[in-house]
Amino acid sequence: MTARANPSKHSSLIPIEKIERVIYFIRGEKVMLDRDLAKLYDVSTKVFNQAVKRHREKFPPDFMFQLTKDEAREWWLAVNANRLRSQTVTLKRGQHLKYRPYAFTEHGILMLSSVLNSERAIRVNIEIMRAFVKLRQMLASNSELSRRLNELESKYDRQFKVVFDAIRELVSPPVAARKQIGFRSRSAKK
């Protein structure tokens, strides 16, 4: 007797957390950048972009767009914020932004499956779509929870305002604490 695989369970080629980390919110869209997609597909960014350029007609502006210099600089600084480097040392390869990246919306990523037709590309696309669906479900449940809280708050007295504020604080994402840079003298610590 052979064991059949459970269709609800799937073996993940790439952990969904890894995919979620490279989904950015740019111009009001959830997007993934060319270099991150190339890494997931296990090809160089150059090869990835060449394949896309050969099929440019499949990628209208709402499927793919190139970041502006300011957007690219902002993204680069955010991604590399934890790396400090000396300004007197020349940059090593890969430590600067030479080309403005292309951003692919969810529809653009779906279109990639018609451009990149390797076995890995198909499996990676499936994983990416699962990550987008999970993200959409999380956002929908959070907005639904917020709507319900507003309804409850409008029904009940002001005495419960503290409770509703506490719930909102628990639901909202935590604010990242910034580390202080530098040092303190012993007299300042007292």
Q: What is the DSSP code (8-state) at residue 99?
A: S
| Entry pTM | 0.60
Q: Among positive and negative, which fits the CA dihedral 68, 74, 80, 86?
A: positive
Cα angle value 109/16/74 (rounded, 5°) = 65
Per-residue confidence of the chain (190 residues) as pLDDT tens digits? 444 444 444 556 677 788 888 888 888 888 999 999 999 888 899 999 999 999 999 999 999 999 998 888 888 877 776 655 555 555 555 555 678 899 999 889 888 878 887 788 888 888 888 888 887 787 777 777 777 767 766 666 555 666 667 667 766 666 656 665 655 666 655 5
Domain boundaries, the chain: 16-82+94-143
CATH architecture, domain 16-82+94-143? Roll (3.10)
